[in-house]
Amino acid sequence: MPNSVARFFLPFFLVAGSLANSTLPVYTDGAGHPVYSPYDYQRVGARGPLLLQDFHLIDLLAHFDRERIPERVVHAKGSGAHGYFEVTRDISNLTMAVPFSEGVGTKVPLTMRFSTVAGEAGSADTNRDPRGFAIKMRTSQGIWDWVFNNTPVFFLRDPTKFPLFIHSQKRDPQTNLRSPTNQWDYWSQNQESVHQVMILFSNRGTPHSWAQMHGWSGHTYKFVSASGSWHYVKIKVISQQGIDNFNADEAKVMAANNTDYHTEELRNRITAGNFPTWKVAIQLMTPEQGQKYKYDVNDLTKVWPEDEFPLLEVGKIVLNKNPENWFAEIEQLAFSPANMPPGFEPSNDPVLQARLFAYSDAARHRLGPNHLEIPINCPMAVNNFQRAGWMRIDGGAGTLPPSAPNYPSSFASPVTYVRRPYDLSDIADPVVGPATVKSSYHLSRKDFEQPNVLYNKEFTEVERQSLVSNVVAALNTVTIQTVKQRSVDMFTCVDTTLGHKIGMGVSIKPSSPLSCGDQ
């Protein structure tokens, strides 16, 4: 046997040889060399120094030193599970998006990840926060990510605000402490956030379990049919376990007793065969309805009331498998709202448009340029001209052979090209006017209308009371008087009784006259 061949095969023979007495695989270092004991290391004499030649020890240390990847800049704490999405209604007249166009009963595999937003990777699951509700579906036409939250609205409608808003919610750069003063300073200066703030400070901000929450797209998207007709659409994922929330005290006790309560609860639920299920429903608007709607259809701080735009049930989700390797199947997940199949299109919502960029950008930082090759993110089929880069592991471009040309060759093209049946110009909203710099929408009285309905018509009495007591408790930790005053005024703009109750709790009277945005 030539030397090179011997070197290549020797470990195999050693491994195979030592396997003779055991059915278990032989322990090796990272390069596959058999090592007698994981605790062995090479040193001189009984008390001498270590040897640099000890690859096993150095490989062990070096790998350990690199075992952490950056945590998500937001939504760092979370977990999830696997399951499937099933089409339950034929809506192929509304969208050509798979799996809907593949018929009732079509199932696609999916992975869901639930998360809190502001805390770090080790923070408590039951802290007051919105919850991320992200779904990765592996369709026959690529990945379809629903990167949703457990609330129908969001704190802002201007993309530039997101990083600055998040700075106000996470740790202060000077003290490294989270600061209620910073949080309420931001919210009370940006009062279009009040709708989401009210949901957050009701008991809905402390859900009992991930299975007992709904998920919402929040944003408006577009459904486009094969004939090119289109609708605005919002998606709601409805828990079949019902909704249940902790109150503030229960959530705090649970945070102290079991940091990972939601992670454990979901795992136990699935292990017991008690598979969580959600129904998927859509709300639709025609382009004409969208133009006439009293609010901007692209305003993420507004809902479409369900009595005006009824829910149409179209599918169901079941989670039935726990991850076997949390890092590979959950931490390495990379969702992006830009991952959507033909027939589903983004609206002009500026926050959504910004997100179409931000997530893949974050994934390139967190996981590398080839993050779509990581098995949990990898689509069913990829055939393109991308090669190389950090951690490229497939050699070729997805399912193409490594020898396939990496450009559209005229003589050896490895792919055919499929045009989608509609053109972007067919589904464009009418856009008029020159390019402008728009720092933010003006706050208007209309911004307080839906929060008023939420408080008076949708919240139960318990939710109204919990909102008041939770806001009062938080505002009483705010150290700057003007921030408290602006916050009391903000709730007074929503409803005078609400403002009065919160004002009483923090010993502040609402301003008079009160300014609630433009008319």
From the list 56, 82, 127, 149, the catalytic residue is 149
We find the least distance from the C-beta atom of residue 34 to ligand HEM, in angstroms, to be 38
Decide whether 226 or 358 has the Cβ nearer to ligand HEM: 358
Of the candidate residues 92, 126, 149, 239, the single one contacting ligand HEM (CB under 6 A)? 149
Binding segment (CB under 6 A) for ligand HEM, from list 229-237, 244-252, 271-279, 328-336: 328-336
319 bridge partner residues: 83
The helix or strand, by DSSP H or E, that contains position 83, with its residue range, turns out to be: strand 78-87
* Interaction of residue 492 with ligand HEM, rule CB under 6 A: no
Is the Cβ–Cβ distance between 187 and 59 less than 8 Å? no
Decide whether 57 or 334 has the Cβ nearer to ligand HEM: 334
Give, as one character, the DSSP assignment of residue 118: S
* Interaction of residue 253 with ligand HEM, rule CB under 6 A: no
Q: Tally DSSP H helices, then E strands, for the chain.
A: 14, 10
* Angle of CA points 111, 116, 120, to nearest 5°: 110
* Cα dihedral 406, 410, 414, 418 sign: positive
* Interaction of residue 351 with ligand HEM, rule CB under 6 A: yes
Binding segment (CB under 6 A) for ligand HEM, from list 34-42, 361-369, 373-381, 447-455: 361-369
Decide whether 252 or 366 has the Cβ nearer to ligand HEM: 366
Going through 309-433 in order, the beta strands assigned E by DSSP cover 312-321, 344-346
Distance from the Cα of residue 302 to its chain's centroid = 20
We find the least distance from the C-beta atom of residue 454 to ligand HEM, in angstroms, to be 17
Of the candidate residues 83, 132, 207, 323, the single one contacting ligand HEM (CB under 6 A)? 132
Give the CB-nearest residue to ligand HEM: 132
Interface pattern 199-228 for ligand HEM (x via CB under 6 A): -------------------x----------
207 bridge partner residues: 245
We find the least distance from the C-beta atom of residue 123 to ligand HEM, in angstroms, to be 14
* Interface of this chain with ligand HEM, residues 155 to 194, rule: CB under 6 A: 159, 162
Of the candidate residues 144, 187, 278, 335, the single one contacting ligand HEM (CB under 6 A)? 335
We find the least distance from the C-beta atom of residue 25 to ligand HEM, in angstroms, to be 33
Of the candidate residues 144, 154, 261, 448, the single one contacting ligand HEM (CB under 6 A)? 154
Rg (CA), the chain: 27
SS3 414: coil
108 bridge partner residues: 85
144 bridge partner residues: 137
**Binding-site annotation, residues for heme:** 359
Is residue 149 annotated as part of the catalytic site, yes or no?
A: yes
Of the candidate residues 72, 138, 157, 484, the single one contacting ligand HEM (CB under 6 A)? 72
CB neighbours (10 Å) of residue 365? 13
Binding segment (CB under 6 A) for ligand HEM, from list 11-19, 84-92, 258-266, 351-359: 351-359
Taking CA atoms, 406 is separated from 138, 253, 364, 398, in Å, by 25, 57, 21, 12
Binding segment (CB under 6 A) for ligand HEM, from list 34-42, 69-77, 181-189, 251-259: 69-77
* Interaction of residue 110 with ligand HEM, rule CB under 6 A: no
From the list 75, 82, 195, 214, the catalytic residue is 75
* Interface of this chain with ligand HEM, residues 419 to 438, rule: CB under 6 A: none
Nearest to 109 by CA among 135, 74, 91: 135
We find the least distance from the C-beta atom of residue 28 to ligand HEM, in angstroms, to be 33
We find the least distance from the C-beta atom of residue 362 to ligand HEM, in angstroms, to be 4
Distance from the Cα of residue 431 to its chain's centroid = 30
Is residue 325 annotated as part of the catalytic site, yes or no?
A: no
Helices (H), 242-380: 248-257, 261-271, 287-292, 326, 350-366
CB neighbours (10 Å) of residue 88? 15
Secondary structure string (H, E, C) spanning 456-514: HHHCCHHHHHHHHHHHHHHHCCCCCHHHHHHHHHHHHHHCHHHHHHHHHHHCCCCCCCC
Decide whether 351 or 488 has the Cβ nearer to ligand HEM: 351
Is the Cβ–Cβ distance between 212 and 206 less than 8 Å? no
Residues annotated as catalytic (active site), given as ranges: 75, 149
Where do contacts with ligand HEM occur on this chain (CB under 6 A)? 72-75, 78, 113, 115, 132-134, 147-149, 154, 159, 162, 218, 333-335, 351, 354-355, 358-359, 362-363, 366
